Amino acid sequence: MSLLILEPAQKQFFADNGYLLLKGFYDHQEMAEMRRQYHELVTEIEPRPQNVKYSFMAPPTDYAPDAFNPRNVVGMMDQTLAGDYWFDQFTEPRIVSVMVDLLGPNLDFHNGKIRNKPPGFTCDQSWHQDWPYERHTEPDLAAAITYLDGTDFEAGATEVAPGSHLKGEYPTVENSHTIPDEHLADDHPVVLAAEPGDVAVIHVLVVHRAGHNYTPQSRNAIINEYKTAETIDQWGNHCAFAGLPLARNGQLLMPRVQQH
Ligand SMILES: O=C(O)CCC(=O)C(=O)O
């Protein structure tokens, strides 16, 4: 099958490394609108449907909330239900095309969430694979992380262990999905320094972690996950639009809700 949007080298990079950083995926104008919509999402909370779920972080000592995210929203589930913009955001034709190129011609949605690193955020989850959180018959899933803010080491960057998705399931700490540091002794993690509008695609088996944020600025990101139609949910995915068909035989299915 010919590729819809990616270069063959990008597909190969993902196959070898288990991640792909798509620089400048959304342009300046798209990011201005995304940031406007996002600011509304994290400030106008009460009018939202109750099945759009928010979690908040108490500001740590010495860190004030950022005016862009003044209530210190640290996470959300099912932002996909927050309105027309958010439906279009996860069914966006270019990102669906990327996932078709990487995963296969029959693509479904898996779930959507918001992952913020407010000022002073520290990540307790540490190194992990997404797989134990979302088992399927086959590990044919990937997450698209869209960065609204620049990230770097200790400024909320995602870190990834290239090629770790080829090594199967890593051992974890008891009663947790965290992978102890010693099991990464043979890995060489990289920091995904991102700019607003960059998108990182993360394979479900690649070892990664969210970085801490020791800056005064909130680092905000949207994470949508996708899967092949062929892989079957084994954990009971009740998230909004789980299994929504997005492409069949390499053809995109979803029309836009908002007309631009
Ligand atoms: O927020 C990030 O940088 C990474 C997100 C992550 O690790 C996850 O959602 O599994």
Q: Of 107, 149, 120, 4, nearest to 58 (Cα)?
A: 120
CATH number at residue 214: 2.60.120.620
135 Cα to the center of ligand 1, angstroms: 17
Residue 16 inside a domain? The answer is yes
- Has residue 73 been placed in a domain? yes
In a domain, 104, yes or no: yes
Kindly report, residue by residue over 190-225, the tens digit of the pLDDT.
999 999 999 999 999 999 999 999 999 999 999 999
In a domain, 51, yes or no: yes
Share of the chain above pLDDT 70, in %: 100
Residues having CB closer than 6 A to ligand 1 are 115, 130, 158, 208-210, 221, 223
Strands 19-22 and 199-203: antiparallel
Among protein residues, the one whose CA lies closest to atom 5 of ligand 1: 210
* Ligand 1 centroid, distance to 210 Cα (angstroms): 5
At residue 1, does pLDDT exceed 80? no
Give CA 235 to chain center in angstroms. Answer: 19
For the chain, the domain total comes to 1
**What pLDDT is stored for residue 259 in this prediction?**
76
Ligand 1 atom with the shortest distance to the CA of 223: 9
The model carries a pTM of 0.97
Kindly report, residue by residue over 35-47, the tens digit of the pLDDT: 999 999 999 999 8
Task: Report how far residue 195's alpha carbon sits from residue 36's, in angstroms, rounded to the nearest whole number.
Answer: 17
> Could you tell me if residue 242 is inside a domain?
yes
Residue at 257 is within a domain: no
Domain range enclosing 118: 8-252
CB atoms within 10 A of CB 13: 16
What is the sign of the dihedral through the CA atoms of 96, 98, 103 and 104? Answer: positive
Residue 42, domain member (yes or no):
yes
pLDDT at 48: 92
Which atom of ligand 1 is nearest to 115's Cα?
1
Question: Residue 12: pLDDT above 70?
Answer: yes
Tell me the CA distances in angstroms from 124 to 121, 162, 209, 232, one per residue in order: 10, 21, 9, 30
User: Interior CA angle at 111 toward 245 and 259, to 5°?
Assistant: 60
What digits encode the pLDDT tens for the residues 32-79? 999 999 999 999 999 899 999 999 999 999 999 999 999 999 999 999
Q: Is residue 3 part of a domain?
A: no
Centroid of ligand 1 to alpha carbon of 123 (angstroms): 9
pLDDT of residue 260: 66
Number of residues that this document lists for the chain: 260
Distance between Cα 24 and ligand 1 center (Å) = 19
Q: Which pLDDT score is estimated for 102?
A: 98
Are 90 and 80 a contacting pair, CB within 8 Å?
A: yes
